[in-house]
Amino acid sequence: MNTTLAIIALLDGISYASLLFLVAVGLTLIFGVLGILNVAHGSLYAIGAYMAATIGGWLTAQGYSIWLTFPALLVAALATGIVVGGLLEKFLLRRIYDKDPVLQLLITFAVFMILENVQRMVWGVQPYFMSEPLRALGNVGVMGIQYTVYQIIFLPAMAVLTLVGLRFFLRNTLAGAQIVAVTEDREAATSIGIHAKRVYFITFIIGACLAAMGGALATPTTSVLPGMGANMIVLSFAVAATAGLGNIEGALLAALLIGIARSFAIYILPEAEVLMPYLIMVLILLWRPLGLFGSVKARKI
């Protein structure tokens, strides 16, 4: 493997890791606060992608400027996260917070089955493409290699922005402080007048929006296909588990680790591409059973 190929692999890895982080951080945030692993998170990712492809495709078909596809990505992500995530929490998850963890898993798994089916019914099985945002931003030379600005500057910027924004929100705003309080001790938080139910609702919607955002931002770089949700839920779980479930900052590191390892595998040993993320996860879990930054504390954020 020569240097050029190594640099390309590194750039691929960083751009992929940014998307992975967006989805995984939503999963880990929801787990940290609600204590539920949302298997349907993968579906939110996929629906976000389909929505972005549909709205973006419609805009370009109408002859609007391709720059309008950027707000379209955002609108698709927020609409998906708020509508699907909101309905899910309000009508289903709210009933199962006091149930067995196995039953909670089964319920979100059932939701995943339902949403995968709904996607097929709405969008069919043919792939969707929407590469306008990629073209709009053009290319940039990185260490002698031409790479798309969208993938190497825009996506990582979005990931870092999300991390910083989330940190700021949780540590410096009242709503964020309420979320942290409920995570630490739900009863104590309720007794000082925090509306725990609303905190759960808001957290779930934020997490859902992040998953949909990951999907929407992935649309320009990949074709939108059935089955992308199933792959993403296990992959983002691998990232969250490697970092330690519930750990937000660690998720960025784990996403980078897994994203870069995966893209190197593509160039060196293509068959091992799918194996790589899980290999890393298993090795790290063997070494630290609770993940890189996991601690014994029952819940963390």
Partner 1 sequence: MKWIALVVALVFLATLPLTFDTSLTFAAIVFSKMLAVLGIFVLLQAGQVSFGHGMYFAAGAYCAAYIGAAWRGPDLIVLTLSAIVVSAIGGFVIGLFVSRYRYIFFAMLNLAFSMVMFALLEKLFHYTGGTDGMRVRRPTLLGWEFNRATFDVVIYYYALGLMLAAAVLVWLYLRSPLGQALKALKVNETRLEYIGLSANRTILVAYVASAILAGLGGLAYGVVQGLATPDMTFWTRSGEFVFIAVLGGIGNVVGVFAGTFVYEGVRFYAAALLDDSWQLILGIVLITVILVVPAGLIGLPQRLMGAMGAGRFKEKAKG
Considering the complex, state which of residue 208 and residue 239 has its C-beta at the smaller distance from partner 1: 239
Report d(CA 189, CA 124) in Å as an integer. Answer: 46
Report d(CA 216, CA 194) in Å as an integer. Answer: 33
Look-up of token digits 């240097």:
3
Considering the complex, state which of residue 52 and residue 248 has its C-beta at the smaller distance from partner 1: 248
Region binding partner 1 by CB under 8 A among candidate stretches 15-23, 70-78, 128-136, 235-243: 235-243
Considering the complex, state which of residue 85 and residue 244 has its C-beta at the smaller distance from partner 1: 244
Considering the complex, state which of residue 61 and residue 102 has its C-beta at the smaller distance from partner 1: 102
Considering the complex, state which of residue 111 and residue 210 has its C-beta at the smaller distance from partner 1: 111
Look-up of token digits 């992608």:
49
Which of these, 35, 70, 77, 46, lies nearest to 56 by C-alpha position? 70
Report d(CA 69, CA 59) in Å as an integer. Answer: 7
Considering the complex, state which of residue 120 and residue 167 has its C-beta at the smaller distance from partner 1: 120
8 A C-beta contact, residue 59 and residue 222: no
Confirm or reject binding of residue 44 to partner 1 (CB under 8 A): no
Which H helix or E strand runs over 247? none
How near is the Cβ of 95 to partner 1 at its closest, in Å?
7
- Binder of partner 1 out of 136, 194, 225, 234 (CB under 8 A): 234
Report d(CA 78, CA 108) in Å as an integer. Answer: 21
User: Counting beta carbons within 10 angstroms of the beta carbon of residue 77, is it exposed (0 to 12), middle (13 to 18) or buried (19 or more)?
Assistant: buried
Which of these, 6, 287, 284, 292, lies nearest to 142 by C-alpha position? 6
Confirm or reject binding of residue 1 to partner 1 (CB under 8 A): no
Report d(CA 280, CA 259) in Å as an integer. Answer: 11
The number of residues that bind partner 1 (CB under 8 A) is 40
- Binder of partner 1 out of 62, 271, 287, 296 (CB under 8 A): 271
Please give the residues from 103 up to 132 whose contact with partner 1 meets the rule CB under 8 A.
103, 105-107, 109-114, 116-118, 120-121
Considering the complex, state which of residue 37 and residue 59 has its C-beta at the smaller distance from partner 1: 37
How near is the Cβ of 278 to partner 1 at its closest, in Å?
5
Report d(CA 280, CA 300) in Å as an integer. Answer: 23
How near is the Cβ of 279 to partner 1 at its closest, in Å?
9
**Beta-bridge partner residues of 148:** 139
How near is the Cβ of 113 to partner 1 at its closest, in Å?
4
Residues that bind partner 1 (CB under 8 A): 31, 37, 39, 92, 95-96, 100-103, 105-107, 109-114, 116-118, 120-121, 230-231, 234, 237-238, 241, 245, 271, 274-275, 278, 281-282, 285-286, 289
